[in-house]
Amino acid sequence: MVQRHSRREFLKITGVAAGGLALAACSSGTSSPAASAGASAPAGSAPAGGSINFLTWSDHFGEAALAAVKEQTGISVNVSELADNIDGFNKLSQVKGQLDLVSGDALWVPKYYDAGLVETIDINSFEVAKQLYPMAREFDFWTKPDGYLAYPWGWSPIQVVYNPKYVTGSPDSWEVMIDPKYAGKVVMENQPTDIMLFAGIATGAKDIYNMTDAELKTAQDWLRKLKPNVYKLVQQNNETVSALASEEAWLGTQNLGAPDRVKDAGGPEVVAMIPKEGTTGFIDGEMTVKEGANKALIKPYLEAAAQAEWVAQNFLDNGRPLLNEKAYKLLVDGGNQDKADRYLYNQPELALKMRLKGPAGNTDAYVSAFNEVFGG
């Protein structure tokens, strides 16, 4: 016997159900924003000037800068966050035209180009490009016959960071990470491919992006020694900082500027070093999406947002060297030369000495190698 519900009852029920669903959706949070299969918001047209959809890391822009850009050019920016290069590549492959500008690291950029996802720009036609260090306009890995692959932003090597109170002897090698003395005291970011790259460097692989099976095995063995030392794999950079600050961790890996960040978080003095075997690092830039709906707005946006004033501010906020030379002069004039020099801001040539980040030839094998050790 079917009961008749009054319309009011029906609305009440659906309202509760919808509310419940909404609550459930809010609370079943995932740790990585990358997990939301992602298109950014569809390109809506702003009153004047329009808007662009920017997929990037959180330190590639500042709220003040975006506001100023909007005022000057009328362009508003819809930012969606990027976890890593694999994430960005997969997302762009899926949504293509719904994004306009995507950030990427050094050797990933050519991959985007080869996959037909991004197109070149005429870097020398940008007014603001004149503010860059000249070498930043001439990276050979970003130079193509028909133009330049990305607008340069910043760079950083990955350093090993340690707390000298507990980690004695001024270590200078990756071996300190597997030293049994420090069991359970190492924190790292959960980037399986990156960790494999460190292992490759530590074990002397020739091309860490295309390790042979034998080299992968050797690297895996190094990982097996690393595992008991690592007590936690974190999702975000700032978790490494807090672990070091609370002295829960004595060792970790970080971009340039770790000592300052740990100090700011209320932690002790830590030392950052580049291991003698070498390290990975990134140079990143902004790529123009080939099928982007708002391609025409990219140049005006960059002309406004990449100005030295904003770059200098970004450096002070986020603390890693950027490739805008004029910004360095502004920092010096503003009394921040000490900090800038400490961050190697005026030595961009060091960027080319790192093993630059790029896609591994066989990510499947790298991830499997990692999982087999850290699986459980």
Partner 1 sequence: MTAQAGGPVPGLPAEAHAGSRGAALGRLWPFGPAAAVLLFLFFIPLAIVFVYSFWTVQNLQLIPTWTLQNYLKFFQTDTYIRTFLKTIIMAVLVTAAGIGMAFPFAYFLARYVSTRWQRVLLLAVIIPFWSSYLVRVYAWQAILGEKGALNWLLMQVGLISEPLTIFLYNDVGVFIVLTYVYFPFAALSLYSSLEKFDFTQLTAAQDLGATPLRAMRRILLPQVRPGFITAMIFVFIPIIGEYLTPTLVGGTKGVLIGNLIVNFYRGGAFPAMAAASFIIAAFIILLLVLFRRYLQLDDVVTKL
Question: Are the beta carbons of 162 and 185 closer than 8 angstroms?
Answer: no
Q: Nearer Cβ to partner 1, position 95 or 123?
A: 95
Q: Which is nearer to partner 1, 26 or 48 (CB)?
A: 26
Q: How far is the CB of 120 from partner 1 (least distance, A)?
A: 21
Q: Report the nearest approach of partner 1 to the CB of residue 230 (Å).
A: 5
Buried b (16+ CB within 10 A) or exposed e, 208-227: bbebeeebbebbbebbebbe
Q: Which residues contribute to the site for partner 1 (CB under 8 A)?
A: 1, 23, 26-32, 34, 83-84, 86-87, 89-90, 111, 184, 190-193, 227, 230-233, 235, 246, 248, 359, 361-364, 366-368, 370-376
Least CB distance from residue 29 to partner 1, whole Å?
A: 4
Cα(286)–Cα(112) distance, rounded to whole angstroms?
12
For the bound state, the minimum distance from the C-beta of residue 229 to partner 1, rounded and expressed in Å, comes to 9
Q: Which is nearer to partner 1, 231 or 329 (CB)?
A: 231
Q: How far is the CB of 90 from partner 1 (least distance, A)?
A: 6
How far apart, in Å, are the Cα atoms of 66 and each of 60, 62, 101, 286?
A: 11, 6, 14, 15
Of 249 and 298, the one with the shorter C-beta distance to partner 1 is 249
Question: 73: buried, middle or exposed (CB in 10 Å: 19+, 13-18, 0-12)?
Answer: middle
Residue nearer to partner 1 on the CB measure, 73 or 362: 362
Q: Shortest distance, CB of residue 367 to partner 1, whole angstroms?
A: 3
**Residue with Cβ nearer partner 1 (99 or 304):** 99
